[in-house]
Amino acid sequence: QKEVEQNSGPLSVPEGAIASLNCTYSDRGSQSFFWYRQYSGKSPELIMSIYSNGDKEDGRFTAQLNKASQYVSLLIRDSQPSDSATYLCAVSESGGGADGLTFGKGTHLIIQP
Amino acid sequence: DTEVTQTPKHLVMGMTNKKSLKCEQHMGHRAMYWYKQKAKKPPELMFVYSYEKLSINESVPSRFSPECPNSSLLNLHLHALQPEDSALYLCASSQDPPGSSTDTQYFGPGTRLTVL
Protein backbone atom coordinates (compact mmCIF):
# COMPACT_ATOMS: atom_id res chain seq x y z
CA GLN A 1 0.00 0.00 0.00
CA LYS A 2 1.57 3.25 -1.13
CA GLU A 3 1.37 5.98 1.48
CA VAL A 4 2.13 9.67 1.51
CA GLU A 5 2.25 11.28 4.93
CA GLN A 6 1.82 14.95 5.79
CA ASN A 7 1.19 16.77 9.03
CA SER A 8 -2.40 17.98 8.70
CA GLY A 9 -1.77 21.11 10.77
CA PRO A 10 -2.95 23.75 10.97
CA LEU A 11 0.50 25.27 10.53
CA SER A 12 0.43 28.91 11.56
CA VAL A 13 3.19 31.21 10.25
CA PRO A 14 3.55 35.00 10.61
CA GLU A 15 3.39 37.09 7.46
CA GLY A 16 6.82 37.54 5.93
CA ALA A 17 8.28 34.41 7.56
CA ILE A 18 9.28 31.13 5.92
CA ALA A 19 6.67 28.37 5.87
CA SER A 20 8.08 24.84 5.81
CA LEU A 21 5.88 21.97 4.70
CA ASN A 22 7.01 18.36 4.88
CA CYS A 23 6.01 15.08 3.28
CA THR A 24 7.26 11.49 3.46
CA TYR A 25 6.38 8.65 1.13
CA SER A 26 6.58 4.88 1.42
CA ASP A 27 7.13 3.67 -2.17
CA ARG A 28 10.82 3.67 -3.14
CA GLY A 29 9.73 3.31 -6.79
CA SER A 30 8.31 6.83 -6.72
CA GLN A 31 9.77 9.00 -9.42
CA SER A 32 7.79 12.23 -9.61
CA PHE A 33 6.85 14.53 -6.78
CA PHE A 34 4.41 17.40 -6.78
CA TRP A 35 3.07 20.10 -4.53
CA TYR A 36 -0.44 21.36 -5.14
CA ARG A 37 -2.14 24.28 -3.43
CA GLN A 38 -5.87 24.06 -2.81
CA TYR A 39 -8.06 26.88 -1.58
CA SER A 40 -11.28 25.92 0.16
CA GLY A 41 -13.92 24.87 -2.39
CA LYS A 42 -11.48 25.11 -5.32
CA SER A 43 -9.49 22.58 -7.29
CA PRO A 44 -5.81 21.75 -6.72
CA GLU A 45 -3.35 24.09 -8.44
CA LEU A 46 0.15 22.89 -9.30
CA ILE A 47 2.84 24.81 -7.40
CA MET A 48 5.98 22.76 -7.98
CA SER A 49 7.18 19.51 -9.46
CA ILE A 50 10.51 17.88 -8.65
CA TYR A 51 12.11 14.75 -10.04
CA SER A 52 15.73 14.61 -8.83
CA ASN A 53 17.46 14.96 -5.48
CA GLY A 54 18.24 18.47 -4.32
CA ASP A 55 16.50 21.80 -4.43
CA LYS A 56 14.34 23.40 -7.07
CA GLU A 57 13.41 27.05 -6.79
CA ASP A 58 10.57 28.96 -8.46
CA GLY A 59 10.01 32.46 -7.18
CA ARG A 60 9.17 32.33 -3.47
CA PHE A 61 8.81 28.55 -3.55
CA THR A 62 11.57 25.95 -3.09
CA ALA A 63 10.97 22.23 -3.29
CA GLN A 64 13.51 19.86 -1.76
CA LEU A 65 13.77 16.13 -2.49
CA ASN A 66 15.77 13.46 -0.68
CA LYS A 67 15.03 10.05 -2.18
CA ALA A 68 17.29 8.20 0.26
CA SER A 69 15.22 9.51 3.15
CA GLN A 70 11.98 9.36 1.11
CA TYR A 71 11.29 12.94 2.02
CA VAL A 72 10.09 15.94 0.07
CA SER A 73 9.48 19.43 1.38
CA LEU A 74 8.20 22.82 0.25
CA LEU A 75 9.52 26.12 1.55
CA ILE A 76 7.55 29.31 1.03
CA ARG A 77 9.61 32.47 1.59
CA ASP A 78 8.12 35.85 2.49
CA SER A 79 4.78 34.22 3.29
CA GLN A 80 1.69 36.21 2.33
CA PRO A 81 -1.88 35.91 3.64
CA SER A 82 -2.83 34.74 0.12
CA ASP A 83 -0.64 31.67 0.72
CA SER A 84 -3.16 30.47 3.33
CA ALA A 85 -4.50 27.22 1.85
CA THR A 86 -4.19 23.46 2.05
CA TYR A 87 -0.99 22.13 0.47
CA LEU A 88 -1.17 18.65 -1.00
CA CYS A 89 1.92 16.53 -1.53
CA ALA A 90 1.50 14.04 -4.39
CA VAL A 91 3.74 11.26 -5.60
CA SER A 92 3.82 9.27 -8.83
CA GLU A 93 5.70 6.04 -9.44
CA SER A 94 7.60 5.40 -12.64
CA GLY A 95 7.21 2.94 -15.44
CA GLY A 96 4.44 0.74 -16.73
CA GLY A 97 1.72 -0.12 -14.27
CA ALA A 98 1.89 3.26 -12.59
CA ASP A 99 -1.56 4.29 -11.50
CA GLY A 100 -1.32 8.01 -11.16
CA LEU A 101 -0.94 10.28 -8.19
CA THR A 102 -1.01 9.25 -4.56
CA PHE A 103 -1.90 12.23 -2.41
CA GLY A 104 -1.12 13.01 1.18
CA LYS A 105 -3.97 14.30 3.31
CA GLY A 106 -2.70 17.86 3.00
CA THR A 107 -1.31 20.48 5.38
CA HIS A 108 -3.54 23.40 6.25
CA LEU A 109 -1.35 26.52 6.25
CA ILE A 110 -2.44 29.77 7.88
CA ILE A 111 -0.43 32.94 7.33
CA GLN A 112 -1.13 35.41 10.10
CA PRO A 113 -1.10 39.10 9.06
CA ASP B 1 -1.70 27.25 -21.45
CA THR B 2 -2.62 24.50 -19.00
CA GLU B 3 -6.37 24.89 -18.98
CA VAL B 4 -8.77 22.07 -18.28
CA THR B 5 -12.44 23.03 -18.35
CA GLN B 6 -15.33 21.27 -16.65
CA THR B 7 -19.08 21.68 -16.93
CA PRO B 8 -21.32 22.14 -15.12
CA LYS B 9 -19.81 23.96 -12.14
CA HIS B 10 -22.60 22.79 -9.86
CA LEU B 11 -25.08 19.92 -10.22
CA VAL B 12 -27.95 18.86 -8.00
CA MET B 13 -29.62 15.58 -8.85
CA GLY B 14 -32.02 13.07 -7.39
CA MET B 15 -31.19 9.43 -6.86
CA THR B 16 -33.20 8.38 -9.91
CA ASN B 17 -31.73 10.94 -12.31
CA LYS B 18 -29.20 10.41 -15.07
CA LYS B 19 -26.71 13.19 -15.64
CA SER B 20 -23.28 13.66 -17.18
CA LEU B 21 -20.18 15.63 -16.26
CA LYS B 22 -17.99 16.97 -19.04
CA CYS B 23 -14.27 17.70 -19.15
CA GLU B 24 -12.28 19.22 -22.00
CA GLN B 25 -8.63 20.04 -22.68
CA HIS B 26 -6.96 21.39 -25.81
CA MET B 27 -3.34 20.93 -24.77
CA GLY B 28 -2.84 17.74 -26.78
CA HIS B 29 -2.57 15.77 -23.56
CA ARG B 30 -2.78 12.01 -23.98
CA ALA B 31 -3.99 11.06 -20.50
CA MET B 32 -7.10 12.21 -18.67
CA TYR B 33 -8.32 11.43 -15.17
CA TRP B 34 -11.40 11.56 -12.98
CA TYR B 35 -11.01 12.13 -9.25
CA LYS B 36 -13.55 12.37 -6.44
CA GLN B 37 -12.88 14.64 -3.49
CA LYS B 38 -14.89 14.73 -0.28
CA ALA B 39 -14.63 17.64 2.14
CA LYS B 40 -11.31 17.87 4.00
CA LYS B 41 -9.98 14.78 2.18
CA PRO B 42 -7.44 14.48 -0.64
CA PRO B 43 -8.59 13.64 -4.18
CA GLU B 44 -9.24 9.94 -4.81
CA LEU B 45 -8.50 8.53 -8.25
CA MET B 46 -11.50 7.01 -10.04
CA PHE B 47 -10.50 6.45 -13.68
CA VAL B 48 -7.55 6.99 -16.00
CA TYR B 49 -7.75 7.19 -19.78
CA SER B 50 -4.52 6.84 -21.74
CA TYR B 51 -4.64 7.43 -25.49
CA GLU B 52 -8.45 7.40 -25.29
CA LYS B 53 -8.54 3.95 -23.72
CA LEU B 54 -9.56 3.20 -20.15
CA SER B 55 -6.38 2.08 -18.44
CA ILE B 56 -7.29 2.27 -14.77
CA ASN B 57 -10.59 1.76 -12.99
CA GLU B 58 -10.13 2.03 -9.26
CA SER B 59 -13.00 -0.30 -8.35
CA VAL B 60 -15.55 2.43 -8.83
CA PRO B 61 -19.26 1.43 -8.59
CA SER B 62 -21.00 0.91 -11.93
CA ARG B 63 -23.31 3.85 -11.28
CA PHE B 64 -20.32 5.91 -12.49
CA SER B 65 -19.56 5.31 -16.15
CA PRO B 66 -16.67 7.11 -17.89
CA GLU B 67 -16.46 7.81 -21.60
CA CYS B 68 -13.71 9.29 -23.75
CA PRO B 69 -15.28 10.30 -27.10
CA ASN B 70 -12.01 11.78 -28.42
CA SER B 71 -8.59 12.87 -27.24
CA SER B 72 -9.86 16.21 -25.92
CA LEU B 73 -13.05 15.15 -24.18
CA LEU B 74 -13.83 13.08 -21.12
CA ASN B 75 -17.31 12.45 -19.77
CA LEU B 76 -18.55 10.90 -16.56
CA HIS B 77 -22.08 9.52 -16.78
CA LEU B 78 -24.00 9.32 -13.53
CA HIS B 79 -26.98 7.09 -12.81
CA ALA B 80 -28.79 6.05 -9.63
CA LEU B 81 -26.36 7.85 -7.37
CA GLN B 82 -26.53 7.84 -3.58
CA PRO B 83 -26.35 10.85 -1.25
CA GLU B 84 -22.86 9.71 -0.16
CA ASP B 85 -21.70 10.29 -3.73
CA SER B 86 -22.03 14.03 -3.14
CA ALA B 87 -18.54 15.46 -3.61
CA LEU B 88 -16.32 17.63 -5.80
CA TYR B 89 -15.55 15.76 -9.02
CA LEU B 90 -12.24 16.74 -10.54
CA CYS B 91 -10.93 16.15 -14.01
CA ALA B 92 -7.21 16.31 -14.74
CA SER B 93 -4.97 15.78 -17.75
CA SER B 94 -1.31 15.10 -18.34
CA GLN B 95 0.87 15.14 -21.43
CA ASP B 96 1.60 11.44 -21.10
CA PRO B 97 0.23 8.54 -19.05
CA PRO B 98 1.13 7.90 -15.40
CA GLY B 99 4.68 6.76 -14.86
CA SER B 100 6.22 8.75 -17.67
CA SER B 101 8.52 11.73 -17.22
CA THR B 102 5.78 14.06 -18.45
CA ASP B 103 2.92 12.94 -16.25
CA THR B 104 2.38 16.24 -14.44
CA GLN B 105 -1.35 16.51 -13.91
CA TYR B 106 -3.30 19.73 -14.33
CA PHE B 107 -6.71 19.93 -12.74
CA GLY B 108 -9.91 21.51 -13.94
CA PRO B 109 -12.08 23.64 -11.63
CA GLY B 110 -14.30 20.70 -10.69
CA THR B 111 -18.02 20.01 -10.57
CA ARG B 112 -19.70 20.28 -7.18
CA LEU B 113 -22.24 17.45 -7.14
CA THR B 114 -25.08 17.17 -4.63
CA VAL B 115 -27.26 14.06 -4.62
CA LEU B 116 -30.58 14.44 -2.86
Instruction: Look at strands A11-14 and A107-112 and give their pairing.
Output: parallel
**Residue, of A106 and B100, whose pLDDT is higher:** A106
Please report which confidence band the pLDDT of residue A98 belongs to, taking 50, 70 and 90 as the band edges: low
CB atoms within 10 A of CB B101: 11
Q: What is the pLDDT of residue B96?
A: 87
B56 touches chain A (CB under 8 A): yes
Please report which confidence band the pLDDT of residue B1 belongs to, taking 50, 70 and 90 as the band edges: low
**Pick from A42, A43, A105: CB nearest B42:** A105
- Mutating which of A101, A105, A107, A108 best tests the B interface, going by the most B Cβ atoms within 10 A? A101
Following CA atoms B25, B26, B31, B37 in sequence, which dihedral angle do they give, to the nearest 10 degrees? -20
How many angstroms separate the CA atoms of A87 and A106, rounded?
A: 5
Q: What is the pLDDT of residue B109?
A: 97
CB A101 within 8 A of CB A91: yes
- Chain A CB contacts of B109 under 8 Å are 42-43
Q: Which pLDDT tens digit goes with each residue over B51-96?
A: 999 987 888 999 999 999 999 999 999 999 999 999 999 999 999 8
Q: What is the pLDDT of residue B98?
A: 82
Q: What is the pLDDT of residue B55?
A: 83
